[in-house]
Amino acid sequence: MTLCFVLRSGSAGQNKQHTITKNTAKLDRETEELHHERVSLTVGKLIQQGRQGLGINQKELATRISEKPQVIADYECGKAIPNNQVLGKIERVLDRQTRGVRMS
């Protein structure tokens, strides 16, 4: 019986757990230092008013733009990171401009 071992280049002698811990710590530092722009409450109110003007709920708007209902909820309460594709789809359904409105 013959045994064959394959060594992957660059993996011999590395402590993978240590590497993962270092990467996690680095990610934590970056997360604490970086702050992403969020949709303003003004944009959220515009979306909510437009949606209510059409007589639809968050779930129905989400279905119309092929997104999850939580996406609409996040935009309306100012938790979402602005995405021009999502905002464009919302604008088309609501026939209301949301991009260019001051973000916070």
Model confidence over 65-77: pLDDT tens digits?
Answer: 999 999 999 999 9
In a domain, 22, yes or no: no
In a domain, 31, yes or no: no
- What pLDDT is attached to residue 63? 97
Q: Where are the alpha helices (DSSP H) in 1-104?
A: 16-33, 41-54, 58-64, 69-77, 84-94
Q: What is the pTM of this model?
A: 0.63
In a domain, 9, yes or no: no
The CATH number assigned to the domain holding 83 equals: 1.10.260.40
Percent of the chain surpassing pLDDT 90: 54
In a domain, 69, yes or no: yes
Q: How far apart are alpha carbons 98 and 9 in whole angstroms?
A: 51
What tokens were used for 29?
A: 């530092």
Q: How far apart are alpha carbons 1 and 25 in whole angstroms?
A: 45
Q: How far apart are alpha carbons 102 and 83 in whole angstroms?
A: 14
Q: How many domains does the chain have?
A: 1
